[in-house]
Amino acid sequence: MIKVGIIGVGTVGTSVAQILKDNADVISARAGQDIEVKSGVVKNLNKDRGLDIVITDNVDDVLNDSEIDIVVELMGGVEEAFGVVKKALKSGKAVVTANKALLAYHRYELQDIAGTIAFEYEAAVAGGIPIITALRDGLSANHIESIVGIMNGTCNYMMTKMANEGVAYDDILQEAQDLGYAEADPSFDVGGFDAAHKLLILASIAYGIDAKPEDILIEGIQDVSSEDVAFAKEFGYVIKLLTIAKKDGSEVELRVHACLIKQDEMIAKIDGVMNAISVVGDKVGETLYYGPGAGGDATASAVVANIIDIARSGKSTPMLGFDKPMEGTLTLKPSAEIKSKYYLRINVSDKTGVLAKITKIFEIHNISVETMLQKSTSDISANLLISTHIAKESNIQDMISELEKLDFVNSKPVMIRIV
Amino acid sequence: MIKVGIIGVGTVGTSVAQILKDNADVISARAGQDIEVKSGVVKNLNKDRGLDIVITDNVDDVLNDSEIDIVVELMGGVEEAFGVVKKALKSGKAVVTANKALLAYHRYELQDIAGTIAFEYEAAVAGGIPIITALRDGLSANHIESIVGIMNGTCNYMMTKMANEGVAYDDILQEAQDLGYAEADPSFDVGGFDAAHKLLILASIAYGIDAKPEDILIEGIQDVSSEDVAFAKEFGYVIKLLTIAKKDGSEVELRVHACLIKQDEMIAKIDGVMNAISVVGDKVGETLYYGPGAGGDATASAVVANIIDIARSGKSTPMLGFDKPMEGTLTLKPSAEIKSKYYLRINVSDKTGVLAKITKIFEIHNISVETMLQKSTSDISANLLISTHIAKESNIQDMISELEKLDFVNSKPVMIRIV
């Protein structure tokens, strides 16, 4: 009999306890033994969670309980959770967590501290999709060339609605908040930070690369307008918030931002709140993983899978899937060095000579235009819709700064990268 | 240092050896030790495979080599391979196989024989997609409600071409053969048998259910015409060869056949030679896995992942993922009891009273028509296109037998199930 203590019995924690009970038949057969939640730690002792487990508000009641084999950390946050998890590992307890922020900051220290003690975190990335298992175990024979993911359901729901129904950003954000898909303060989701945390975890498994959120390019979807979505559609593209990890020689790019994607790519077909991750390996080619990225039961499904795995094999795969440097010299590519194709929408005063001046500025910054389309927006202004050939991020940024200052450019040019 | 012996050094075997060499940096970091192919067994010693390993034509040179830790079985076939794998396991060697036919017939005996010795087979189902890992480890917290897969690339390539380009079955089969996607004798693929082997393996992991190919409903795509594909498209459907495992109370349906699927389902969006498997769990909901189902490197990627996993953890997860009965009383549902919606195309002589007679026969067999459409095919004949409400397989089969005998029915009615 394996005994589990849950630290943080909210939506996911309650689902974990419930699944272990509801599905005890298959879980016991698969784990080779029975698994039981012994106790749970909460902040508010007065709230009834409908579970027949010991409830306490003292973390040490779980951490110091010698009967508990596995600690499930679902308290969230970074430093306090880090302290709790360290203490659990040091007392020899296996740990399962769904805490992506904790891992975005402390995964390498945690791998060292865990050593041969099992530490699993399937639920931390893309909820119910077993992407950690797939990447760490299923694709382990490959050099990973790229990981392109839709890993924030809120953003994908919003972008899908904007594409399919032409709804404006603010309206759809309100709707997502009403439906409970977006928080009252939505910036963690729509700003790309949630997706970035997940990306950093996958990049460690794939490349062994160490980076923190502040080291990488993170943009959100706040500046994507329904105009851009409509233009994209007209040219056979959809716009999505993507997380991208890409190996380029001895460098790895890590970035989160809105992208134009060709409609016939698999990743472009992922609609609504669903998540998907496309992984390209040098030997296997492209594989893709699709499913629910959030929700109590889906997330808990991943937590319980980790518990079963630990009960079954007590295995001590290194947490990040490797225990010596993998590809020696891989380093993080500075954001300014990223190369991409770009979509630009520049709203200009419709006057003679403007086009010549704009194209001159493109030339100065060494940016080559692939297509250009002018659409009037009023009698006196027009949108220039431009797609570029491959260009360098720093050149694009410099050019946008210059364009922005011109008196015939009416607002900050919109830039969306094309993949 | 882990030493591997490969039995059957064909396309996949050569790729396995090559990947272990090409990707030794990441493989060694992930496995925690170096892995080397020591020897390979072939039928024809004279063919140069460009590998620097010992080549022999005697299986016992590998099986009796005490230095070899892992035997990779890639010889194919059923009974001879069974003998070889048994001998390897009994001598304490771990085994990795890509042999789906072996597993379709002997997986339960092999699980017993393997005991705590590692026996892995990721490559046996859907090539490079880590679906075994996903189902056995990633979704282990769930009762599996259904598995719906596109697991034969040849059939999916053909159905995609028929749908997108209106090509006739015979022409596209010829093209698939020219491209090397289909064998000279294509019946193993187009007849659904290859997909059925894979389905049986997944069904064991999901349900613990034991069945052999001859126990389940297996049909191919040979009778799907470009007419049916075009009609399906007109009504918002695509036709695919699907493998279906579905829990219904205490019974499990296992079947392989062509299906009409709504165009907006994820599984309907899988085009060309690619494979995909949609798995619905009671807690996680739907997850889907997409990638290359065949090819030397993609298949070898899965074989090498198993080798790494064994080297890393030497883990002894039971081969099928459970070691006591899972859901007690689950039994295989007889094919005749399957319930589905059906599409029927009945070519009839265009005479007065025919429609009344046909609809009367539907009524006698307790089959309720959802939609009916008549399209003339000549001055004297017409196609009746019918979709039914949920009906019982045995009733449909009986009705088709009766319809076939009528003098105004010009050919055997075409029946395709709707999912």
pLDDT, position B263: 93
Please state, in angstroms and rounded to a whole number, the distance separating the CA atoms of residues B130 and B137.
11
Sequence-separated (6 or more) residues with CB below 8 Å from residue A60? none
The kind and range of the H/E element at A70 are strand A70-73
Chain B residues within an 8 Å CB radius of A313: 313, 315-317
CB-CB under 8 Å, B282 with A323: no
Chain B residues within an 8 Å CB radius of A25: 326-328
In this model, does residue A315 exceed pLDDT 80? no
Cβ contact B98:B302 at 8 Å:
yes
Please state, in angstroms and rounded to a whole number, the distance separating the CA atoms of residues A7 and B312.
30
Domains A2-127+296-313 and A135-290 share a fold: no
Taking only the tens place, the pLDDT of each residue in A44-87 is 998 888 898 999 999 999 999 999 999 999 999 999 999 999 99
Chain B residues within an 8 Å CB radius of A297: 283-285
Taking only the tens place, the pLDDT of each residue in B204-255 is 999 999 999 999 999 999 999 998 999 999 889 999 999 999 999 999 999 9
Sequence-separated (6 or more) residues with CB below 8 Å from residue A113? A86, A89, A90
Closest CA relative to residue B202, chosen from B248, B251, B159, B148: B148
| Residue ranges of chain B whose pLDDT lies below 50 | none
Provide mean pLDDT across the span A261-283: 95
CB-CB under 8 Å, B288 with A26: no
pLDDT, position B316: 66
CB-CB under 8 Å, B289 with A298: no
Domain residue spans of chain A: 2-127+296-313, 135-290, 335-418
Please state, in angstroms and rounded to a whole number, the distance separating the CA atoms of residues A214 and A100.
15
Cβ contact B391:B341 at 8 Å:
yes
Residue-level length of chain B: 419
The percentage of chain A sitting over the pLDDT mark of 70, rounded to a whole number, equals: 100
Optimal mutation site among B23, B27, B30, interface A, most CBs of chain A within 10 A:
B30
Closest Cα in chain A, distance from residue B153 (Å): 14
CA-based angle B271:B272:B275, to the nearest 5?
75
Chain B residues within an 8 Å CB radius of A30: 140, 321-322, 326
Closest Cα in chain B, distance from residue A53 (Å): 19
Please state, in angstroms and rounded to a whole number, the distance separating the CA atoms of residues A149 and A134.
14
DSSP code for B326: S
Closest Cα in chain B, distance from residue A365 (Å): 39
DSSP code for B335: G
Provide mean pLDDT across the span A290-303: 96
**Identified catalytic residue from A38, A93, A100, A198:** A198
Closest chain B CA to residue A288: B290
Sequence-separated (6 or more) residues with CB below 8 Å from residue B334? none
Largest CA distance in chain B: 80
Optimal mutation site among A287, A308, A309, A317, interface B, most CBs of chain B within 10 A:
A287
Closest Cα in chain B, distance from residue A242 (Å): 18
CB-CB under 8 Å, B301 with A281: yes
Which residue bears the tokens 């299906």? B259
Closest CA relative to residue B176, chosen from B116, B185, B127: B185
Closest CA relative to residue A316, chosen from A118, A71, A69, A66: A118
Cβ contact B414:B225 at 8 Å:
yes
Domain A2-127+296-313 carries which CATH code?
3.40.50.720
Cβ contact B220:B397 at 8 Å:
no
Closest chain A CA to residue B278: A290
CB-CB under 8 Å, B301 with A142: yes
Cβ contact A140:A282 at 8 Å:
no
Please state, in angstroms and rounded to a whole number, the distance separating the CA atoms of residues B104 and A217.
48
Please state, in angstroms and rounded to a whole number, the distance separating the CA atoms of residues B10 and A28.
40
Q: Which residues pair with residue B280 across a beta bridge?
A: B146, B286
In this model, does residue A329 exceed pLDDT 80? no
CB-CB under 8 Å, B26 with A305: no
The kind and range of the H/E element at B240 are strand B237-248
Is the ipTM value over 0.90, yes or no? yes
Closest Cα in chain B, distance from residue A305 (Å): 5
CB-CB under 8 Å, A322 with B29: yes
CB-CB under 8 Å, B304 with A298: no
Optimal mutation site among A273, A312, A319, interface B, most CBs of chain B within 10 A:
A312
C-alpha neighbours within 13 Å on the C-beta side of residue B121: 30
Query: Across the interface, which of B283, B315, B317 has its CB nearest the CB of A297?
Result: B283
Chain A residues within an 8 Å CB radius of B32: 318, 323-324
Chain A residues within an 8 Å CB radius of B304: 140-141, 283
Optimal mutation site among B136, B145, B209, B312, interface A, most CBs of chain A within 10 A:
B312
Chain A residues within an 8 Å CB radius of B25: 326-328
For A285, the token pair is 């080619």
For B273, the token pair is 């030679």
Q: Over chain A, what is the mean pLDDT?
A: 94
Closest chain B CA to residue A26: B326
Chain A residues within an 8 Å CB radius of B115: none
Chain A residues within an 8 Å CB radius of B328: 25
User: Could you tell me whether strands A237-248 and A217-218 are parallel, antiparallel, or unpaired per DSSP bridges?
Assistant: unpaired
Look at the domain B140-291 and name its fold.
Dihydrodipicolinate Reductase; domain 2 (3.30.360)
Cβ contact A154:A273 at 8 Å:
yes
pLDDT, position B183: 86
Optimal mutation site among B26, B27, B320, interface A, most CBs of chain A within 10 A:
B26
In this model, does residue A317 exceed pLDDT 90? no
Closest Cα in chain B, distance from residue A155 (Å): 19
CB-CB under 8 Å, A308 with B312: no
* Residue A93: active-site member: no
- Cβ-Cβ pairs closer than 8 A, A with B, add up to 224
Closest chain A CA to residue B276: A288
The answer regarding whether domain A335-418 maps to CATH 3.90.78.10 reads no
Closest Cα in chain B, distance from residue A128 (Å): 6
pTM of the predicted model as reported, rounded to 2 decimal places: 0.95
Taking only the tens place, the pLDDT of each residue in B148-200 is 999 999 999 999 999 999 999 999 999 999 988 888 899 999 999 999 999 99
Cβ contact A274:B260 at 8 Å:
no
User: Could you tell me whether strands A144-150 and A237-248 are parallel, antiparallel, or unpaired per DSSP bridges?
Assistant: antiparallel
What CA–CA distances, in Å, run from B240 to A291, B168, B295, B385? 21, 15, 21, 18
For B80, the token pair is 């001879």
CB-CB under 8 Å, B304 with A141: yes
Residue-level length of chain A: 419
Chain B residues within an 8 Å CB radius of A303: 141
Closest Cα in chain A, distance from residue B70 (Å): 16
Domain A135-290 carries which CATH code?
3.30.360.10
For B167, the token pair is 């090509």
C-alpha neighbours within 13 Å on the C-beta side of residue B296: 13
Active-site positions of B read 198
Query: Across the interface, which of B292, B315, B321 has its CB nearest the CB of A30?
Result: B321
Alpha helices in A250-406 (DSSP H): 296-313, 354-364, 393-405
Query: Across the interface, which of A285, A290, A304 has its CB nearest the CB of B298?
Result: A285
CB-CB under 8 Å, B292 with A291: no
Report the sign of the C-alpha dihedral through residues A361, A363, A368, A373, in that order.
Answer: positive
